[in-house]
């Protein structure tokens, strides 16, 4: 099956490269190697890990196919295995051309989407802290999807991992069709327990599976009356409630990409605000700790001004991080693991 979706590389997107050039910048500041040490080192470590995992993304299929082939039984087995490997949620759907980027082609029937949660407390520590958490979760997504692919091949079925180190699939259509959540106004999929605070990995396979039903829990209606991401976005890049397109009866609010890039690429600080201010981080899961963190965070944002960028918390005394971030951020968990 050939892909039909346009792909926007987060690093080499012609729009951001042109914006940087127009401003006389030699590099896109967020990806410049010489910027603040921690993220540059962490991104280098992430790229190294993705390169290490690349050869294991696909591989030989065990010629002795497992005797079990009941799709319901296989689905249970695969979801249990994915959770055992570290996924926080798993969804399955049939692969369609819109889930594949232009220029790529896959013969597989299904796509398994794996979600790994970002720690909400970690992401509230400011631009540097959230970037470190994001990089770390992306690396773990790659590790879990690679291991799940190997496991499926050991059962005698083809399987190929896709993750942030490869980026050949479109995440949102696969996750939504796999019953993991609904599209929100902030341009992310909202999961009923994590909101938008997660990262995904994928496995393509022909293993007989039972696809999930879409999980509709009212996000699209709620977003019509909630303006939190819209009002907190520093460059006002998020559309108003009525400013959406409809595809097959489904609303999609489009982000003004050049405006978003002003804040999220052409500065050397990460921007994650439209994820952090979304109430679905606690709304659907009833987690009192997350709700309390959310309230404290939003109280600080109210005081600082809604469109204040992410980094304003970083050097403060920090009610959210036990007295501010005077300690260096920890190494990536994947780095710690590889040093053992
Ligand atoms: S990443 Fe930041 S700048 Fe971009 S849409 Fe979200 S809040 Fe706005
Ligand atoms: S912050 Fe509000 S409007 Fe934005 S995605 Fe979340 S629920 Fe929807």
Print pLDDT tens along the chain (340 aa): 999 988 877 677 889 999 999 989 888 888 777 666 667 788 888 888 988 999 999 999 999 988 777 999 999 999 999 999 999 999 999 999 999 999 999 999 999 999 999 998 888 877 788 888 888 999 999 999 999 999 999 999 999 999 887 779 999 999 999 999 999 999 999 999 999 999 999 999 999 999 999 999 999 999 999 999 999 998 899 988 888 888 878 888 989 999 999 888 888 778 889 999 999 999 988 899 999 999 998 988 888 888 877 665 554 444 334 333 333 333 333 343 444 3
Domain count for the chain, please give it: 1
Residue entry with tokens 């509230």: 124
Cα–Cα distance for residue pair 307/232, rounded to 1 Å: 5
CB 278 less than 6 A from any atom of ligand 2: yes
Angle CA(18)–CA(19)–CA(20) in degrees, nearest 5? 90
CA 229 to ligand 1: nearest atom: 7
117 belongs to a structural domain: yes
pLDDT of the residue at 42: 82
223 belongs to a structural domain: yes
Q: Whose CA is nearest to atom 2 of ligand 2?
A: 226
295 belongs to a structural domain: yes
201 belongs to a structural domain: yes
Please, which residues bridge with residue 205 across strands? Answer: 110, 159
Please, which residues bridge with residue 244 across strands? Answer: 253
Q: What is the token pair recorded at 8? A: 């926007």
Please give the residue range of the domain that contains residue 114. Answer: 1-334
Q: Which of 56, 186, 62, 191 is nearest to 114 (CA)?
A: 191
Ligand 1 centroid distance, CA of 186 (Å): 8
- pTM to 2 decimal places: 0.88
Q: Whose CA is nearest to atom 8 of ligand 2?
A: 223
pLDDT of the residue at 311: 62
DSSP string for residues in 81-99: HHHHHT-SEEEEEE--GGG
Dihedral of alpha carbons 318, 321, 324, 325, sign: negative
pLDDT of the residue at 13: 85
Other beta carbons within 10 angstroms of residue 247's beta carbon come to 11
339 belongs to a structural domain: no
What torsion do the CA atoms of 93, 95, 98, 100 make, to the nearest 10 degrees?
Answer: 120
Other beta carbons within 10 angstroms of residue 67's beta carbon come to 6
Q: Which of 198, 218, 227, 228 to mutate to test the pocket of ligand 2 (most atoms within 8 A of CB)?
A: 228
Ligand 1 centroid distance, CA of 264 (Å): 6
Identify the DSSP state of 54.
G
């Amino acid at each position: 099956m050939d892909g039909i979706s346009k792909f926007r590389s987060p690093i080499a997107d012609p729009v951001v490269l042109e914006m940087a050039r127009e401003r006389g910048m030699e590099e896109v500041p967020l990806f410049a190697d010489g910027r603040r040490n921690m993220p540059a080192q962490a991104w280098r470590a992430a790229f190294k890990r993705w390169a290490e995992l690349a050869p294991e993304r696909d591989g030989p299929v065990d010629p002795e196919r497992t005797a079990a082939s009941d799709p319901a039984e296989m689905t249970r087995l695969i979801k249990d295995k994915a959770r055992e490997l570290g996924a926080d949620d798993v969804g399955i759907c049939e692969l369609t051309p819109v889930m594949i980027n232009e220029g790529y082609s896959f013969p597989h029937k299904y796509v398994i989407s794996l979600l790994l949660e970002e720690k909400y407390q970690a992401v509230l520590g400011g631009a540097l802290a959230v970037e470190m958490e994001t990089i770390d979760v992306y690396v773990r997504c790659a590790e879990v999807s690679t291991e799940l692919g190997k496991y499926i091949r050991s059962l005698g079925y083809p399987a190929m991992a896709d993750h942030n180190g490869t980026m050949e699939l479109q995440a949102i259509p696969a996750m939504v069709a796999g019953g993991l959540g609904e599209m929100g106004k902030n341009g992310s999929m909202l999961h009923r327990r994590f909101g938008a605070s997660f990262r995904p990995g994928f496995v393509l396979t022909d293993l007989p599976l039972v696809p999930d039903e879409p999980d509709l829990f009212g996000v699209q209606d709620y977003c019509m009356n909630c303006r939190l991401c819209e009002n907190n976005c520093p460059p006002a890049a998020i559309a108003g409630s009525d400013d959406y397109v409809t595809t097959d009866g489904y609303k999609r609010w489009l982000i003004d990409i050049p405006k978003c890039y002003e804040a999220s690429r052409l500065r050397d600080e990460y921007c994650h605000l439209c994820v952090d201010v979304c109430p679905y981080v606690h709304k659907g899961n009833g987690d009192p700790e997350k709700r309390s963190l959310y309230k404290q965070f939003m109280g600080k944002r109210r005081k600082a001004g809604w469109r204040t960028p992410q980094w304003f918390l970083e050097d403060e005394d920090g009610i959210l991080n036990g007295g501010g971030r005077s300690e260096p951020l920890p190494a990536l968990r994947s780095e710690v693991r590889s040093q053992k």
